[in-house]
Amino acid sequence: MTRLAVLPLTLVLAIAGCSEGDISDLRQFVKNAHKDRKPRIEPLPRIRPYETYTYTATNLTDPFSSGNLQRRKPTAEDSGLRPDVNRRKEPLEQFPLDSLRMVGTLAKGEASWAVIRAPDGTVHRIGHGNYLGQNYGKVTLISDEKLGVKELVQGPNGNWVERETNIAIVR
């Protein structure tokens, strides 16, 4: 027999096994099987009352007072690098660097530009010296494979350090 013929035959036998018969002994067993058993219920955990605490350190120094702030002293490792905060922001500086995609390059004579797609779907043409990303990233290299960017980020001591990164072209 083929599998197609076996399946309906199996279904008919399964349905026939479920037909009404004398199952009074089964019903009697189910009724009396756990008649004398009582379920064991775990007791609820004891809830401790809430203890109130009154803050009485009003005469101590306020840790959030502006008088507690001290100016950072310049260290030997301070490079003197600072971002130009008075400079007008360029359109691609509103997006994180990892959300920008390089989709191509353009060239005319000696000049070259990178074509960048922003997360909002807009396409921008940028050249050497343009800024992008939220960490004051400045374009330093444009090639057919990647875009070189030098960012200014604050180090652990609060001093500004340069960090070089690349945006590879999306193929």
pLDDT of residue 92: 94
Q: Among all chains, which residue has been given the structure tokens 């960490």?
A: 135
- Four-CA torsion 126, 130, 134, 135, nearest 10 degrees: 140
Give which of 166, 114, 158 is closest to 137, Cα–Cα. 166
Single pTM value for the model: 0.54
Class of domain 91-168: mainly beta
Report the mean per-residue pLDDT for the chain: 84
Q: Which residue has the tokens 């018969």?
A: 21
* pLDDT value, residue 89: 93
- 52-63 tens-digit pLDDT: 888 777 777 777
Confidence of residue 35 (pLDDT cuts 50, 70, 90): confident
3-state class of 156 per DSSP?
Answer: coil
What pLDDT, on a 0 to 100 scale, did the predictor assign at position 149? 95
> Which pLDDT score, from 0 to 100, does residue 13 have?
72
Contacts of residue 146, defined as CB under 8 A and 6 or more positions apart, other chains included, come to 102, 166, 167, 168, 169
Chain centre to alpha carbon of residue 47: 38
**78 Cβ contact list (under 8 Å, min separation 6):** 157, 159
Candidate from 42-46, 49-53, 69-73, 110-114 with smallest mean pLDDT? 69-73
pLDDT at 139: 95
pLDDT single digits (tens) 97-156:
999 999 999 999 989 999 999 999 999 999 999 999 999 999 999 999 999 999 999 887
Name the amino acid, one letter, at 72: R
Q: How confident is the model at residue 33 (pLDDT cuts 50, 70, 90)?
A: confident
pLDDT band at 17, cuts 50/70/90?
low
Q: 């109130």: which residue's tokens?
A: 52
What is the β-pairing status of strands 111-117 and 101-108? antiparallel
Sheet holding 137-142, edge to edge: 131-132, 137-142, 146-154, 160-168
